[in-house]
Copies of this chain bind each other. A is one copy, B any other.
Amino acid sequence: MDTYGQFCPVALAAEVLTRRWTPLVIRELLCGSTRFNDLRRGVPRMSPSLLSTRLDELEVAGIVTRRVPEGSDHPEYRLTRAGEELRPIVEAMGVWGRRWTSGDLTDDELDPDLLMWDVRRRLDASKAPRGRTVVRFHFPDQPEARQSYWLVVEGHGEVDLCWHDPGHPVDLVVEAELATMTGIWVGDYRFDEVLERREVKLRGPSELRRSFPRWLGLSLFAAVARPA
Protein backbone atom coordinates (compact mmCIF):
# COMPACT_ATOMS: atom_id res chain seq x y z
CA MET A 1 0.00 0.00 0.00
CA ASP A 2 1.63 3.18 -1.14
CA THR A 3 -1.43 5.39 -1.07
CA TYR A 4 -2.84 7.49 1.71
CA GLY A 5 -6.51 7.30 0.89
CA GLN A 6 -7.02 11.00 1.27
CA PHE A 7 -8.46 13.52 -1.12
CA CYS A 8 -6.09 16.19 0.14
CA PRO A 9 -3.73 17.23 -2.65
CA VAL A 10 -0.83 17.28 -0.23
CA ALA A 11 -1.38 13.57 0.26
CA LEU A 12 -1.59 12.97 -3.47
CA ALA A 13 1.69 14.74 -4.05
CA ALA A 14 3.28 12.98 -1.12
CA GLU A 15 2.47 9.61 -2.63
CA VAL A 16 4.91 10.37 -5.41
CA LEU A 17 7.45 12.46 -3.62
CA THR A 18 8.04 10.60 -0.42
CA ARG A 19 9.50 7.45 -1.83
CA ARG A 20 13.11 6.86 -1.00
CA TRP A 21 15.54 8.66 -3.34
CA THR A 22 12.79 10.17 -5.45
CA PRO A 23 13.38 13.80 -4.47
CA LEU A 24 17.05 13.41 -5.27
CA VAL A 25 16.38 11.88 -8.65
CA ILE A 26 14.11 14.79 -9.42
CA ARG A 27 16.77 17.19 -8.22
CA GLU A 28 19.18 15.67 -10.71
CA LEU A 29 16.69 15.96 -13.52
CA LEU A 30 15.94 19.55 -12.57
CA CYS A 31 19.67 20.25 -12.74
CA GLY A 32 19.70 19.03 -16.28
CA SER A 33 20.93 15.46 -16.24
CA THR A 34 19.17 13.33 -18.80
CA ARG A 35 21.20 10.16 -19.15
CA PHE A 36 20.95 7.14 -16.92
CA ASN A 37 24.58 7.12 -15.95
CA ASP A 38 24.64 10.85 -15.38
CA LEU A 39 21.73 10.45 -13.02
CA ARG A 40 23.64 7.71 -11.28
CA ARG A 41 26.56 10.02 -10.68
CA GLY A 42 24.23 12.40 -8.90
CA VAL A 43 22.90 9.68 -6.59
CA PRO A 44 25.89 7.38 -6.37
CA ARG A 45 24.63 5.38 -3.44
CA MET A 46 21.45 4.37 -5.16
CA SER A 47 21.53 1.01 -6.87
CA PRO A 48 20.96 1.08 -10.61
CA SER A 49 17.99 -1.22 -10.31
CA LEU A 50 16.31 1.09 -7.86
CA LEU A 51 17.05 4.09 -10.05
CA SER A 52 15.48 2.24 -12.92
CA THR A 53 12.42 1.47 -10.82
CA ARG A 54 12.08 5.08 -9.73
CA LEU A 55 12.35 6.37 -13.27
CA ASP A 56 9.60 3.98 -14.29
CA GLU A 57 7.42 5.17 -11.45
CA LEU A 58 8.04 8.78 -12.36
CA GLU A 59 7.13 8.04 -15.94
CA VAL A 60 3.87 6.43 -14.85
CA ALA A 61 3.18 9.43 -12.64
CA GLY A 62 3.60 11.71 -15.64
CA ILE A 63 6.65 13.43 -14.27
CA VAL A 64 9.31 12.04 -16.56
CA THR A 65 9.46 10.97 -20.17
CA ARG A 66 11.92 8.50 -21.54
CA ARG A 67 12.77 8.65 -25.17
CA VAL A 68 15.57 7.69 -27.47
CA PRO A 69 16.45 10.63 -29.71
CA GLU A 70 16.59 9.94 -33.40
CA GLY A 71 20.05 9.16 -34.57
CA SER A 72 21.10 8.02 -31.14
CA ASP A 73 20.69 4.88 -29.16
CA HIS A 74 21.05 6.46 -25.78
CA PRO A 75 17.77 7.05 -23.98
CA GLU A 76 17.13 10.41 -22.43
CA TYR A 77 15.02 11.15 -19.40
CA ARG A 78 13.36 14.52 -19.29
CA LEU A 79 10.92 16.20 -16.99
CA THR A 80 7.45 16.84 -18.28
CA ARG A 81 5.72 20.09 -17.47
CA ALA A 82 4.38 18.43 -14.34
CA GLY A 83 7.90 17.41 -13.45
CA GLU A 84 9.29 20.86 -14.08
CA GLU A 85 6.67 22.25 -11.73
CA LEU A 86 8.18 20.23 -8.93
CA ARG A 87 11.04 22.70 -8.94
CA PRO A 88 9.56 25.00 -6.29
CA ILE A 89 9.13 22.06 -3.96
CA VAL A 90 12.65 20.74 -4.39
CA GLU A 91 14.09 24.22 -4.09
CA ALA A 92 12.10 24.89 -0.96
CA MET A 93 13.40 21.62 0.43
CA GLY A 94 16.93 22.74 -0.26
CA VAL A 95 16.41 26.10 1.37
CA TRP A 96 14.89 24.48 4.40
CA GLY A 97 17.61 21.87 4.58
CA ARG A 98 20.26 24.52 4.44
CA ARG A 99 18.64 26.63 7.13
CA TRP A 100 17.62 23.98 9.58
CA THR A 101 19.75 20.90 9.41
CA SER A 102 22.88 20.65 11.44
CA GLY A 103 25.73 22.47 9.78
CA ASP A 104 28.29 19.84 10.58
CA LEU A 105 29.09 17.63 7.67
CA THR A 106 29.60 14.07 8.76
CA ASP A 107 32.35 11.99 7.22
CA ASP A 108 29.62 9.89 5.76
CA GLU A 109 28.39 12.84 3.76
CA LEU A 110 31.74 13.65 2.20
CA ASP A 111 32.22 12.28 -1.27
CA PRO A 112 34.75 13.75 -3.66
CA ASP A 113 33.13 12.19 -6.72
CA LEU A 114 29.82 13.76 -5.88
CA LEU A 115 31.38 17.08 -4.96
CA MET A 116 33.29 17.31 -8.21
CA TRP A 117 30.27 16.25 -10.20
CA ASP A 118 28.40 19.14 -8.62
CA VAL A 119 31.28 21.54 -9.16
CA ARG A 120 31.44 20.64 -12.79
CA ARG A 121 27.78 21.38 -13.19
CA ARG A 122 27.75 24.73 -11.48
CA LEU A 123 31.01 26.09 -12.78
CA ASP A 124 30.45 29.25 -14.76
CA ALA A 125 32.61 28.74 -17.81
CA SER A 126 31.51 32.06 -19.26
CA LYS A 127 33.43 33.81 -16.50
CA ALA A 128 36.51 31.65 -16.92
CA PRO A 129 39.41 32.76 -19.11
CA ARG A 130 39.07 32.41 -22.86
CA GLY A 131 40.62 29.32 -24.34
CA ARG A 132 41.18 26.21 -22.36
CA THR A 133 41.84 26.19 -18.64
CA VAL A 134 42.75 23.02 -16.78
CA VAL A 135 42.17 22.94 -13.05
CA ARG A 136 43.37 20.09 -10.93
CA PHE A 137 41.64 19.57 -7.60
CA HIS A 138 43.68 17.75 -5.03
CA PHE A 139 42.39 16.28 -1.78
CA PRO A 140 45.46 15.14 0.17
CA ASP A 141 43.41 13.48 2.90
CA GLN A 142 41.67 11.10 0.51
CA PRO A 143 42.73 7.66 -0.65
CA GLU A 144 44.81 7.78 -3.74
CA ALA A 145 42.08 6.96 -6.22
CA ARG A 146 40.06 9.91 -4.93
CA GLN A 147 42.80 12.47 -4.57
CA SER A 148 42.90 14.14 -7.93
CA TYR A 149 40.29 15.42 -10.34
CA TRP A 150 40.76 17.49 -13.43
CA LEU A 151 38.32 20.07 -14.69
CA VAL A 152 38.87 20.99 -18.29
CA VAL A 153 37.12 24.28 -18.87
CA GLU A 154 36.77 25.25 -22.47
CA GLY A 155 36.27 28.90 -23.17
CA HIS A 156 33.10 28.28 -25.16
CA GLY A 157 31.32 26.90 -22.12
CA GLU A 158 32.02 23.19 -22.06
CA VAL A 159 33.33 21.75 -18.82
CA ASP A 160 34.71 18.24 -18.57
CA LEU A 161 35.45 16.36 -15.42
CA CYS A 162 38.23 13.77 -15.51
CA TRP A 163 39.18 11.18 -12.93
CA HIS A 164 42.54 10.65 -14.60
CA ASP A 165 45.11 13.06 -15.90
CA PRO A 166 43.84 14.13 -19.31
CA GLY A 167 47.35 15.08 -20.31
CA HIS A 168 46.82 18.78 -20.89
CA PRO A 169 49.11 21.08 -18.94
CA VAL A 170 47.52 22.07 -15.64
CA ASP A 171 46.91 25.81 -15.22
CA LEU A 172 45.71 25.86 -11.66
CA VAL A 173 45.95 23.47 -8.75
CA VAL A 174 43.40 23.65 -5.94
CA GLU A 175 44.40 21.80 -2.83
CA ALA A 176 42.33 21.35 0.31
CA GLU A 177 41.00 18.72 2.58
CA LEU A 178 37.76 17.32 1.30
CA ALA A 179 35.81 18.61 4.30
CA THR A 180 37.15 22.09 3.71
CA MET A 181 36.33 22.12 0.04
CA THR A 182 32.88 20.68 0.70
CA GLY A 183 32.31 23.28 3.42
CA ILE A 184 33.11 26.03 0.94
CA TRP A 185 30.82 24.44 -1.57
CA VAL A 186 27.78 24.23 0.68
CA GLY A 187 28.33 27.70 2.08
CA ASP A 188 29.68 26.91 5.53
CA TYR A 189 32.93 28.72 4.82
CA ARG A 190 33.79 31.70 2.70
CA PHE A 191 36.41 31.07 0.09
CA ASP A 192 38.49 34.13 0.85
CA GLU A 193 38.64 33.41 4.56
CA VAL A 194 39.64 29.81 4.09
CA LEU A 195 42.21 30.91 1.56
CA GLU A 196 43.65 33.36 4.02
CA ARG A 197 43.90 30.67 6.66
CA ARG A 198 45.81 28.57 4.12
CA GLU A 199 43.29 25.76 4.47
CA VAL A 200 42.88 25.85 0.77
CA LYS A 201 45.86 26.49 -1.48
CA LEU A 202 45.85 27.71 -5.03
CA ARG A 203 48.88 27.24 -7.25
CA GLY A 204 49.08 28.91 -10.61
CA PRO A 205 49.32 32.35 -12.24
CA SER A 206 48.16 35.09 -9.90
CA GLU A 207 45.53 36.30 -12.34
CA LEU A 208 43.99 32.86 -12.42
CA ARG A 209 44.19 32.50 -8.66
CA ARG A 210 42.34 35.78 -8.28
CA SER A 211 39.59 35.05 -10.74
CA PHE A 212 39.01 31.41 -9.85
CA PRO A 213 36.64 31.96 -6.91
CA ARG A 214 34.40 34.01 -9.17
CA TRP A 215 33.79 31.29 -11.73
CA LEU A 216 34.02 28.30 -9.45
CA GLY A 217 30.38 28.59 -8.48
CA LEU A 218 28.91 27.19 -5.31
CA SER A 219 25.99 25.06 -4.27
CA LEU A 220 22.66 26.52 -5.27
CA PHE A 221 21.88 26.90 -1.60
CA ALA A 222 25.20 28.26 -0.39
CA ALA A 223 23.85 31.77 -0.15
CA VAL A 224 20.75 30.89 1.86
CA ALA A 225 20.71 32.83 5.11
CA ARG A 226 20.82 30.64 8.14
CA PRO A 227 18.96 31.50 11.34
CA ALA A 228 20.92 33.20 14.09
Q: How far is the CA of A24 from the CA of B10 in the complex (A)?
A: 7
Cβ contacts A93-120/B at 8 Å (1 or 0 each): 1111111110001001111001100100
Which one of A15-23, A48-56, A161-169, A203-211 is at the B interface? A15-23
Inter-chain contact B93/A13, CB cutoff 8 Å: yes
Q: Which residues of B contact A10 (CB under 8 A)?
A: 23-24, 27, 90, 93-94, 97
Q: How far is the CA of A50 from the CA of B24 in the complex (A)?
A: 25
**Interchain nearest-CB distance for A188 vs B (Å):** 10
Q: Are A81 and B8 CB-contacts (below 8 A) given A3-B108, A20-B18?
A: no
Inter-chain contact A88/B94, CB cutoff 8 Å: no
The listed residue (B62, B108, B118, B227) touching A81 by CB distance below 8 A is: B227
Q: Is A45 interfacial (CB-CB < 8 Å)?
A: yes
Q: Is A86 interfacial (CB-CB < 8 Å)?
A: yes
- Interface residue total, chain A, C-beta cutoff 8 A: 56
Inter-chain contact B97/A7, CB cutoff 8 Å: no
**Identical subunits present:** 2
Cβ contacts A139-176/B at 8 Å (1 or 0 each): 00000000000000000000000000000000000000
Q: Which residues of B contact A17 (CB under 8 A)?
A: 18, 23, 93
Inter-chain contact B93/A89, CB cutoff 8 Å: yes
Q: Which residues of B contact A23 (CB under 8 A)?
A: 10-11, 14, 17-18
Inter-chain contact B11/A97, CB cutoff 8 Å: yes
Give A185's nearest chain B residue, CB to CB.
B7
| Pairs of residues from A and B, 4 with the lowest C-beta to C-beta distance, nearest first | A9-B97, A13-B97, A12-B97, A13-B93
